[in-house]
Amino acid sequence: MLVLSYPAPMFATNCWVIAASEGSECLIVDPGMPDISAEISMIVAEHNLKPVAALLTHAHLDHTFSIKPLADGYGIPTYIHSEDRRFIAHPEGLHGEQFNYQLRGMTFSEPEDVRELRNEQVLDLLGMKVKAIHSPGHTKGSLMYLLNDEILISGDVLFAGSIGRTDLPTGSQKEMGETLRKKVLPLDDSIRVLTGHGPETTIKFERKNNPYLKELQS
């Protein structure tokens, strides 16, 4: 499988481009900020890829800022959980006062084709089974995506050695704990994890070394 990443300049959010191989269909995941649509389009062209869908793990602006130009530019659907959908066009509802101050005068709108996902809904994309896993805690509508039981796109739920913050609007420490216990820990050790920020990791490594997961197993 071809897995490419581009860390957006603000907050170093990983935008993932995933394909079976060079010259095939691809997915675009969490295109962040500022507008990185030109950079992602260059990656797509360099590897002769054809985008067929965009996946959003949640609606924080550092994961959605470039979604409209990319999704509409390629004419592809955007997938997101229903709980976070409204924040694509109204990101101020998910951010703190200080960040929202920087958004004054800016307007946002949804891509033309937005499709809501529910927990454990399975999409057939790239010839793979892509399972949406509702994972509240960082936001109410956070999703992880499991690709063919081999790759987990964890968004801001699970990082290498850490987890996502829970102190922003719709976040919940209690729900994050339940997500880690019921959605992350049962996953197979062999699964490769593509995180929202920082390096990729594996479930095996996090189960053994991530202090938040170790605490839940004690």
Is residue 124's pLDDT more than 90?
yes
pLDDT at 113: 98
- Residue 85: pLDDT band (50, 70, 90) is very high
Q: Which residues are CB-neighbours of 2 under 8 A, at least 6 positions away?
A: 18, 19, 20, 21, 22, 24, 26, 47
Q: pLDDT over 90 for what percent of the chain?
A: 92
pTM of the model: 0.96
Mean pLDDT of 41-68: 98
Average the pLDDT over each of 86-95, 110-119, 161-170 and give the range with the smallest value: 86-95
Q: Return the pLDDT at 117.
A: 98
3-state secondary structure of 56: coil
Which sign does the torsion angle of CA 42, 43, 46, 50 carry?
Answer: negative
Exposed/middle/buried for residue 133 (C-beta within 10 Å: 0-12, 13-18, 19+): buried
Amino acid identity of residue 10, one-letter, is: M
User: For 96-109, what is each residue's pLDDT tens digit?
Assistant: 777 877 777 788 99
CB-CB contact of 14 with 151 (8 Å): no
Q: What is the pLDDT of residue 82?
A: 97
Look up the CATH number of domain 2-217.
3.60.15.10
Domain borders along the chain are 2-217
